[in-house]
């Protein structure tokens, strides 16, 4: 009996620790804009965070017109995206629904870009898993 109660206290203590620990640096960025100011903003944040915290998990989810960030001829930030992708903790995910709506095929985007069936579901899944959420908009 006493041991069972001890186990319970240990569990509660462990739960307490779990809640008290520092926030992990995990952010999903929501990019729907084609505006170059938004492209510049999100890539600056990714670059700065990645430099200061190389273990930070960062994902930029693009839907609506956001996918232009990774399209040669449309993006003002192609080299920044390619540079950021060298860090395996940074990823870029394009919504396949947005690709269809905008008649964009895979070969119109730089290589190595992840696609997801549904950008909004990708974002809320990350939120559900405890990632922070930032809407990109200047």
State the number of binding residues for a copy of itself (CB under 8 A). 43
Contact 81, 44 (CB under 8 A): no
Name the strand (E) or helix (H) holding 11.
helix 2-20
Among 78, 85, 110, 134, binds a copy of itself (CB under 8 A): 134
Q: Biggest alpha carbon distance in the chain?
A: 70
Residue 4 interacting with a copy of itself (CB under 8 A): yes
Q: Which residue in 5, 86, 88, 111 binds a copy of itself (CB under 8 A)?
A: 5
**DSSP string of 15-37, one letter each residue:** HHHHHHSPPP-EEEEEE----HH
Distances (CA, A) of 91 to 7, 10, 11, 22, 124: 40, 37, 35, 23, 16
- From 78, 85, 110, 120, residue interacting with a copy of itself (rule: CB under 8 A): 120
CB 107 within 8 A of CB 3: no
* Interface positions, 9-68, toward a copy of itself (CB under 8 A): 11-12, 23-27, 30, 32-33, 41, 44-45, 48-49, 52, 64-65
Residues in contact with a copy of itself by the rule CB under 8 A: 1, 3-5, 7-8, 11-12, 23-27, 30, 32-33, 41, 44-45, 48-49, 52, 64-65, 97, 101, 118, 120-121, 123-125, 127-135, 137-138
């Amino acid at each position: 009996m006493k041991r069972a109660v001890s186990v319970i206290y240990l569990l509660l203590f462990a739960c307490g620790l779990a809640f008290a620990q520092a926030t992990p640096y995990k952010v999903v960025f929501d990019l729907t804009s084609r505006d170059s100011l938004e492209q510049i903003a999100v890539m600056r944040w990714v670059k700065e965070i990645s430099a200061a915290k190389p273990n930070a998990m960062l994902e930029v989810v693009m839907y609506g017109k956001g996918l232009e960030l990774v399209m040669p001829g449309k993006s003002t930030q192609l080299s920044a995206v390619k540079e950021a992708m060298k860090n395996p903790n940074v990823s870029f995910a394009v919504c396949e629904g947005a690709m269809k709506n905008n008649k964009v095929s895979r070969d119109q985007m730089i290589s190595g870009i992840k696609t997801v069936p549904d950008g909004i579901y990708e974002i809320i899944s990350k939120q559900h898993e405890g990632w922070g959420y930032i809407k990109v908009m200047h």
